[in-house]
Amino acid sequence: MVKEAGYKPLDMKTWARTPYYNYYAHGSKGMCAVTAELDISALAKKCGNENIFVPLLYAITKTINSRQEFRVGYCKENGELMIWDYVSPIHRVFHPATETFTRVCTEWKEDYASFAKGAEADIAKGEKSTALNAEEFPESVFEVSYVPWLHYSSVNMKMSESGKYLAPIVTIGKAQEISGAVNIPLTMQISHAVADGFHIARFFEEVKKESEALAASL
């Protein structure tokens, strides 16, 4: 079972986003959902399109953990905002026979070999399960969906009605060669309470850099 990450309180008196959080979490309940084409040619060359998910999951998770805005959550003891030390990805294992899936969670580890070993074990666990969730998950998580059957142009999702869901939701589409480059559609959805277009744009840039750095290390 994936362990719960540690956290530190978020000081609302000094946090630059406090007025934005108050407006978007309690008022308009706004959110951002952006899809962009991501060039993963270097990683695809090393891993192959069919084996791209785990390496890409690593690059995405490393990027998310490098930025505070993607690790904001609520303390279950007092309900106040805090920052997770790290977050781990919940992802899905598809069952072709039933056309359903099982959610699994891979604990974040900065060492790629350790993370990949854990992800592969979690995927194997999910393949043997018929449940929605393979096990109980911690709260220090974010969601990832992989849609390897479709190279899409956009994904429209909706945040919770409460406006209090703050974790990122990431969707990955089918890899496709375009003008000699291997691209995937990548979608980031996050509450406006914790992030804006600037932060999402930086997310895409940094996932690309992390995927290229990982490819160079393999």
d(CA 87, CA 49): 26
Per DSSP, the three-state class of 142 is strand
Per DSSP, the three-state class of 129 is coil
Distance of CA 126 to the CA centre of its chain: 18
Classify residue 139 as exposed, middle or buried by CB count within 10 Å of its CB (0-12, 13-18, 19+). middle
Question: Catalytic site residue 151?
Answer: no
Query: Catalytic one among 26, 91, 151, 192?
Result: 192
Can you spell out the DSSP letters for 163-202? S---S-EEEE---EEETTEEEEEEEEEEETTT--HHHHHH
d(CA 18, CA 14): 8
d(CA 153, CA 52): 19
d(CA 127, CA 208): 29
Which amino acids are annotated catalytic? 192
